[in-house]
Structure 1
Amino acid sequence: MKNCVVNAKLKSSDVKFFKLNKGLSLIGLVVASALAATNVSASVIDDTDVNFGGYIKVDTMFSDYSNGAPDSGSISRQFYVPGTIYGVDGNGSQVVDFQARESRFNFKTVSSIDDHKLTSFIELDFMTHADGNERVSNSYSPRIRHAFVSFDNWTVGQSWTTFQNPAALPENLDFVGAAEGTPFVRQTQVRYTNGGFQFSLENPETTLNAYQSTSRIVSGSGMVPDVVARYNIKTKQGAKFSVAGIARQLNIETEINDIQLDATAMGYGVSVSGILPVGKDDLKFTATYGEGLGRYMALNYVNAGVIDADGDIDTISSYGGFIAYRHWWNDKWRTSLTASAFSADNNTSLMADEVNKDSYSGYVNLLYSPVKPLTVGVEYMYAKNSKENGDEGELNRIMFSAKYVL
C-alpha cells in the first residue's frame, strides 16, 4: 500500500498514470480522478509521486500494577508512560486491555518543480485520547503525528524534534519503548538540513514545578524558540551515529495565587545516539544529559525547573539513556532486549517530596514475520518509578501484538 504511486502533470484535462501498484489500484484511481477534477494548473510540475502508507496494529496487554491499576482509558493503559504507573487506591491491580489505537495512516507526495524537490507528509493515529470509551464502539478521534512540507533543504511543520534520533529507537511492541531513556517530542519547527548537519528553531513550551508543590505550571509565554543542532554520521561499516545539542529559554509570565511571576532561565542538553551492526544483529543506544530539559526527556516525567521563594526559575538537571540489542534467530524470527533508565537531580529544598525522582524499565520480546508485511509477537516489560519521598510504582506487563504494514 505504501508503494502506490501516481505520477501526473496536474492539469484538469490531463492526468497521466505511469505507475500504479496493483494493491491499491482503486485508491490510486480515486486520487487521480480527484486531481483531475480540481482544476489545478501546475504546468511547472514535472512529476508527482503519491504514496499511501501506515499500518494496522492490534495489541492485547495483561498488566499488573503494584498500587492498583489506573482507570480504564488512562494513558498508562494505552502504553507505558513514566509517572503514570503509581496506581489508583481501591482499584484492582490486574487488568487486560485490547486496542487497535496505534494503527496509523499517512499520505506523502514528492514533486519535482523546476529542478527543486517539494515533499509533503501527513500522518494520523488514534493514541493518547480520552474522548472515546470501551463501552460500545471504541471510537477515538484521529490526531496529527506529522504534518510538514519540505522544499530542498528546508522543512516546515510538525515532525520529530531535531534533538531526537527516532531511528535509534528499539523494536519494541510498546508504543514508545524505552520511554524514560530517550528524547521524545513531536512539534512544529523550521529545519535546515545540509549533508549530515541539521539546524532547527522549534516550538518553545516551559513546564515548571510550583514552589514546594507537585503542581505543574505550563507556560507558553516567551518569544525565544528552542534552538537545536544535530550532526549525523554514517561509517563505511554501516554504523550510524548522531550528536545533538539544544539550547532553550525557560520563561514564565503569569499570576499564581495573587503572586506575579516573571522569570527566565537558560536550559541546555546534549544527546548521543547510534546504531551499530553486529553481523546481522544490531545494537541501538541513546544517552542524554541536560539542565532544564523537562518535557524533552522521559515524556515530561520531570519538569524543566522549579520556582524558588523569590519567584525565579531553578533548573533541574537530568540524565537518561537506553541500550537495546536485537538478535535475528533467522529471517523470520527475532528478539530485542532493552534496558532504559532516567534520573533527575531535584532540589528538594524547593520542591515537595512527592515529585518524581527516577525511572527504570526493561523489555524482552519475540517477534515473528511469516511474510514481510506481517509481524506477530509477544513482549514482557517491567517498569519501576520512584519519588523523592520513597514512594514507588511498579508495572509488569505481557503484551501480544499483530501488525500489518500497509
Structure 2
Amino acid sequence: MTTQKMSVRLKTLVLAMGIAAAGTAQADTNTEVEQLRKEVQELRGMLEQYAQQQKQMNVQQQNYQAQVAAQTSPAKPAPEKKGLGITVGGAEVNFYGNVRADATYQIDGGPNKGHPYNQINKAALEGTMGNSDIFKSTLAATRLGFDFKTPTQSGDVAGKVEVDFLGANDTLRIRHAYLTYANWLIGQTWSNFAVPDYMPESIDALGYVGGAVKRTPQVRYTSTFSPQTNLIFALEDSKYSDNTTGTKTVLNKQYDENNQLTDATLSNVTTVTALGSDPDNQTRLPALSARLNHKFADNAGIVTARTMLAEKNTKDDNDLAWGVGLGAKYNVTPSTTLKADYYHVKGDSSFVSWSNPGYAIDSNGNIQQSEFDSITVGITQQFNPKWRGTLGYGYMNHDTDLDYINASGIPSALNKDLWQAWANVFYSPIKPVSLGLEYTYGERETFSAPNATTPLTSKTGEENRVNVVAMYNF
C-alpha cells in the first residue's frame, strides 16, 4: 500500500516536473522569438539608414562632378544674334543689313560702262567696240532688311522685308518680302526652282554662268518627312524678271545648220516678238515648281532635286515650258566645301540667269522655244578664321534650233555657248568687316557668222575683269 502510494507520488512529481520544464521551454522560445523580432527591426532600420546615406552620397558625388566639369570646360557662348532686335506692337523685329562698296576694273569685253556686275551674255564680240580698260564702282548692292515674328495662339506668324538699290538707275528694289505661317510662305523670295544655295561663292552680286539669283512672287508649301528630308511645292510668277528683247522689226533672214544665209533676197520684212514681259505675252497661269531636299548625316551636306512647269501663252499660240535641276553641297572637311548645280530648261528664261529668251514668235504667230543645259561647280576653302577662298567654273550651252533662231530674227543676239571661271579670296580683319578680291575670265559664242559686209566680225567674245568689294555687316 505504502509502495503504491510512493509510486503514485513519484509519477505525479515527474509529471509536474515535465509540465514545468515544458512551460519553461515555451517561455524560453517566446523570449527568443521576441528577441529575433527586435533584431530584425534593428537590422531593417540600419538598412534603411544605409540606403538613405548612400543616396545622399550619390547626389553629392554628382554635384561634385558637375562642379568639376564646369570648372574645367569653358561655358558655351550663347548664339550670337545679328542686327538690332526690338519689340513693336507685340512683334519681335530684328533689323539687319550691310554697307557694300563694289569696284571693277574691266580689262576686256565690257558691254556697258555703268554696270559693274556680270554681263557675260552681252560681252563685246571680237571686232566690235567694247568698254575695255575701264574702272567702274557702285554702292547699289548695299542692303537693308528686317525679320519679324509675332507669337499667336495658333502659332508664330513671321516674315521678312529686304531691299537694296540695284533697281533701275540705282533706285530702291525689293529683294525679299514675305510672310510665313506653319508650313506656308506667301510673298517674294528665292525661287523654289532656281536656288542660289549651290552656287560657288563669288564677289559679283549677280553670280556667274550656271547659277541663278532669281527671286519670284510665290505661294509655297513645305511638307517635312523627317528632320533630314522635305518636299516643297510652289506656284511662282514665271514672267517676273524674264529676259526679253521686246518687239522688233527685222529682215526675214533664213539660216541653215551652219548659220549661213539661205535666202539671198532679204526683201521681206517681218515683225517678230521675242519672249519676255512684252505686250503679246498673255500667260494665264503661274509656274508650278517642286523641290526635294535631303541632308546628309552629321550635317555633312545636302542634295536637292527640282522641277518646273510653266505655261507660255500668246494671242495666237500657247506652249508648255519645263525644267529640271540637281544641286549638291558637301563638306569634305570642316574647312573645305564642294558645290555643284545643274539645270536643263526648255522654253523659259525667267529662272536661270544668262540664258537666251525662252521663246520667240515666228512670222506665223507660233511659239518657238529655246533649250539649254547649264552647270556650275566650285570649291571653297576656309584657311583660318580670317581668310577663305573659292575656285569656280560655270558653263551654259543652247541647242541649235533653226526654227527658234530664225524666229528670233537676230542670231547675233543669241548665245550658243557661255562659260566663266573665277577665283577669289576674302579677308575679315575684324568680325563685321569683309574685304574681297576676285578675278574672272569668260567667253561667249553666238549663233551669228562673219559676213561679206563685216568680214572682221567674229561670233565669239571674251570678258575678263578684276572685282573688289568692301562690306560692313550689321
TM-score normalised by the chain length of structure 2: 0.68
Q: Is the 8 A contact 2:274 2:360 kept in 1?
A: no
Amino acid at match of 1:359: L
Equivalent in the alignment of 1:295: 350
Equivalent in the alignment of 2:56: none
Question: Does 92-101 or 215-224 show the bigger shift?
Answer: 215-224
Aligned equivalents of 1:107 and 1:227: distance in 2?
28
Q: Deviations along 1:182-213, whole A, 9 cap, x unmatched?
A: 23321111111122111111113276788868
Amino acid at match of 2:105: F
Aligned equivalents of 1:333 and 1:183: distance in 2?
26
User: 2:469 aligned with 1:401, yes or no?
Assistant: yes
Calculate the aligned-residue CA RMSD, in Å: 2.3
Aligned equivalents of 2:106 and 2:92: distance in 1?
43
Equivalent in the alignment of 2:372: 318
For 1:363-382, what aligned pairs fall within 5 Å after superposition? Answer: 363-382=422-441
Equivalent in the alignment of 2:274: 216
1:92 Cα offset (Å) = 5.0
Aligned equivalents of 2:473 and 2:102: distance in 1?
15
User: 2:338 aligned with 1:283, yes or no?
Assistant: yes
Aligned equivalents of 2:243 and 2:466: distance in 1?
33
Aligned with residue 107 of structure 1, among 128, 137, 146: 146
Aligned equivalents of 1:151 and 1:187: distance in 2?
19
Aligned with residue 232 of structure 1, among 293, 300, 307: 293
For 1:117-136, what aligned pairs fall within 5 Å after superposition? Answer: 117-129=156-168, 131=169
Equivalent in the alignment of 1:197: 231
Aligned equivalents of 2:273 and 2:283: distance in 1?
21
Aligned equivalents of 1:268 and 1:199: distance in 2?
15
For 1:241-252, what aligned pairs fall within 5 Å after superposition? Answer: 241-252=303-314
Q: Is the 8 A contact 2:309 2:321 kept in 1?
A: yes
Amino acid at match of 2:204: D
1:305 Cα offset (Å) = 2.0
Amino acid at match of 1:72: K
Equivalent in the alignment of 1:80: 118
Q: Percent identity?
A: 24
Aligned equivalents of 2:197 and 2:275: distance in 1?
32
Q: Is the 8 A contact 2:111 2:119 kept in 1?
A: no
Higher strand share: 1
Equivalent in the alignment of 1:57: 100
Q: Deviations along 1:277-330, whole A, 9 cap, x unmatched?
A: 01121001100112213222224x311123245322122211101001001222
Equivalent in the alignment of 1:154: 184
Q: Is the 8 A contact 1:86 1:385 kept in 2?
A: no
Equivalent pairs, count: 345
Question: Does 80-89 or 47-56 show the bigger shift?
Answer: 80-89
Q: Deviations along 1:228-267, whole A, 9 cap, x unmatched?
A: 01111111142111111001111112xxxxxxxx111111
1:158 Cα offset (Å) = 1.0
Amino acid at match of 2:111: P
Aligned equivalents of 2:296 and 2:131: distance in 1?
51
Larger Rg: 2
CA shift in 2, pair 1:358/1:147, >3 Å: same
Equivalent in the alignment of 1:144: 174
Aligned with residue 3 of structure 1, among 71, 80, 83: 83
Aligned equivalents of 1:71 and 1:239: distance in 2?
39
Question: Does 150-159 or 180-189 show the bigger shift?
Answer: 180-189
Q: Is the 8 A contact 1:208 1:307 kept in 2?
A: no
Higher helix share: 2
Q: Is the 8 A contact 2:275 2:358 kept in 1?
A: no
Aligned equivalents of 1:298 and 1:84: distance in 2?
12
Q: Deviations along 1:8-65, whole A, 9 cap, x unmatched?
A: 6x2xxxxxxxxxxxxxxxxxxxxxxxxxxxxxxxxxxxx5321111211111211123
**Consecutive unaligned residues in structure 1, runs of 5 or more:** 11-46, 132-139, 254-261
Aligned equivalents of 1:320 and 1:99: distance in 2?
29
Amino acid at match of 1:188: P
Amino acid at match of 1:99: T
Q: Is the 8 A contact 1:284 1:324 kept in 2?
A: yes
1:89 Cα offset (Å) = 4.7
Aligned equivalents of 1:151 and 1:98: distance in 2?
40
Q: Is the 8 A contact 1:207 1:216 kept in 2?
A: no
Q: Is the 8 A contact 1:123 1:144 kept in 2?
A: yes
Amino acid at match of 1:199: F
CA shift in 2, pair 1:371/1:164, >3 Å: same
